[in-house]
Structure 1
Amino acid sequence: MRFGNQPSAAFAGRALHAYLDFVQRTTRFKPAIPGARPWERSREPFIALTWHGQQMLSLAALDGAAQVAVLTSLHFDGTVVASVVERAGFRVIRGSGTQSRPKIMAKRAIPAFFEMREALRDGTSLLLTADVPKVARIAGKGAVQLARSTGRPIYLFAAVTSARLDLDNWDRASIALPFGRGCILWSEPLFVRRSADEREMGLIALDISSQLDELHATAHRLLERR
């Protein structure tokens, strides 16, 4: 099982956590809509989703939430993120989805799914990225399957800042910079029927893609209004 170079990842994790804290403290976030955040609506655990390339401000989006677990990959960058997550006081679950059957075991996809399912059943919320592995801005079915299996709601969120670098890489990542204006938006809860078949879950995944794009577009529009 490959969790990356632990000492190097721990050092990078400390540095990244310090940077994210600095960005969060120096960003002027628009006031949150009262009662919009999942833990303000209900005490039940939830599944939080955003795009892979827009996850940098996830800790700011989850500020105030309790008992959260974050799925991170087995690669070095996942180990760095795991270090950041643990420093933020959240639990880490290692593994990642894949579209390749031969890679399911290597990526720890099945054990991670079972661990996430048990976490939700035990009262722990989850933070996941929505994208199909290595396919930007197309939501996969992993979170939909978790929601169907556990009955827990999916909440989508956009966490953006006016000060950022937008990269031309596979996930179209945005690097948040300090001293900007920020906006965090949450969607309404999305529930998945236990009887949902593959077709219905596919349609829900398409809806998640559309809603996430609209949430991010709305958040950016709000930032343009001074």
Structure 2
Amino acid sequence: MFRNITRSSWFQHAAGFVAAQILRVVWLTNRISYDPPDLYQQIEPRMPVIIAFWHGQHFLMPFGTRRHHRFKVLISRHRDGEINAIVVEQFGIGTVRGSGDHGSSFHRKGGVPAFKAILRHLQSGGSMAMTADVPKVSRVAGLGIIMLARESGRPIIPAAIATSRFKRLNNWDRSVIHLPFGRGVVAIGQAVTVPADADDAAMETLRVQLEASLNEVNRRAYAIVGCPDEGLHVA
């Protein structure tokens, strides 16, 4: 019975609405800084862009956008993704539904239609926000986001949001639950650009580069708020 309730549309909409309000409180009660301070002045001339971040570090990402930005976020078709989609839509951010999974499940979980939808959005001038690691493989960048950058010609911007007060869950991606009344930072790392003619070897090199850049920006963000990024130890 409980499973049926949690899968119901009314429960998911209620949970998504409540979660969005909690995130608003967390954001508004943290003293937020930006690293670098001219973060938006660096990003906006390059838009549309692909904002990349790690799984489990995503809950405050909607607040990194501004009202005039045309962002969408990739969210899985899994039932847990329904609540996530409702949450981001509360902040005026669109969604593309599909999986970043790998292997044979890529087609089954809507990976191909999602990839095409993201390309169309980027080509229309909109930007994307998405995790760089695939489900159940934490802190290892997948090739999917590198392929997307190659096909779209848009740069990948590694990003991290950290707060000084948080709880880290003991799950596969060590999800961070941000808490109110602390310090926070929005940080970006070195952009990764993928040439249109990148071959397999170049793609792998850039995948490793993105992975390193994401780890660096997360390490730097947590250092700014005075906390270690324990998620870096997850393999």
TM-score in terms of structure 2 length: 0.88
In the other structure, the counterpart of 1:95 is 98
The answer as to whether partners of 1:23 and 1:178 remain within 8 angstroms in 2 is yes
1:191-210 alignment to 2 at 5 Å?
191-210=193-212
Q: What is the percentage of aligned positions where both structures have the same residue?
A: 35
One-letter amino acid of the structure 2 residue matched with residue 111 of structure 1:
P
SS at match of 2:220: helix
Query: Which structure 2 residue ranges, 5 or more long, are not aligned?
Result: 1-6, 228-235
The answer as to whether partners of 1:13 and 1:84 remain within 8 angstroms in 2 is yes
Tell me whether 1:171 sits opposite 2:173 in the alignment.
yes
Displacement of 1:162? 0.7
Tell me whether 1:74 sits opposite 2:77 in the alignment.
yes
- Over 3 Å counting, the alpha-carbon distance change for 1:40 and 1:133 in structure 2 is closer
SS at match of 1:179: coil
Displacement of 1:104? 2.5
Tell me whether 1:116 sits opposite 2:118 in the alignment.
yes
Displacement of 1:210? 1.0
In the other structure, the counterpart of 1:215 is 217
In the other structure, the counterpart of 2:28 is 25
CA distance in 2, matches of 1:143, 1:38: 24
CA distance in 2, matches of 1:167, 1:197: 38
CA distance in 2, matches of 1:64, 1:163: 27
CA distance in 2, matches of 1:72, 1:85: 10
Displacement of 1:35? 2.8
- Over 3 Å counting, the alpha-carbon distance change for 1:40 and 1:48 in structure 2 is closer
CA distance in 2, matches of 1:140, 1:62: 24
One-letter amino acid of the structure 2 residue matched with residue 84 of structure 1:
V
1:175-194 alignment to 2 at 5 Å?
175-194=177-196
The answer as to whether partners of 2:189 and 2:216 remain within 8 angstroms in 1 is no
1:80-159 alignment to 2 at 5 Å?
80-101=83-104, 103-159=105-161
Deviation per residue, 1:162-206 (Å, 9 max, x gap): 110012210111110111110111123221000001221111111
Aligned-CA RMSD value: 1.8
- Over 3 Å counting, the alpha-carbon distance change for 1:104 and 1:84 in structure 2 is same
Question: Which stretch shows the higher mean deviation, 118-127 or 182-191?
Answer: 182-191
Aligned residues: 221
Displacement of 1:117? 0.5
Displacement of 1:43? 5.4
One-letter amino acid of the structure 2 residue matched with residue 29 of structure 1:
I
CA distance in 2, matches of 1:149, 1:27: 38
The answer as to whether partners of 2:35 and 2:188 remain within 8 angstroms in 1 is no
One-letter amino acid of the structure 1 residue matched with residue 193 of structure 2:
F
SS at match of 2:160: strand
The answer as to whether partners of 1:5 and 1:76 remain within 8 angstroms in 2 is no
TM-score in terms of structure 1 length: 0.92
- Over 3 Å counting, the alpha-carbon distance change for 1:31 and 1:140 in structure 2 is closer
- Over 3 Å counting, the alpha-carbon distance change for 1:41 and 1:30 in structure 2 is same
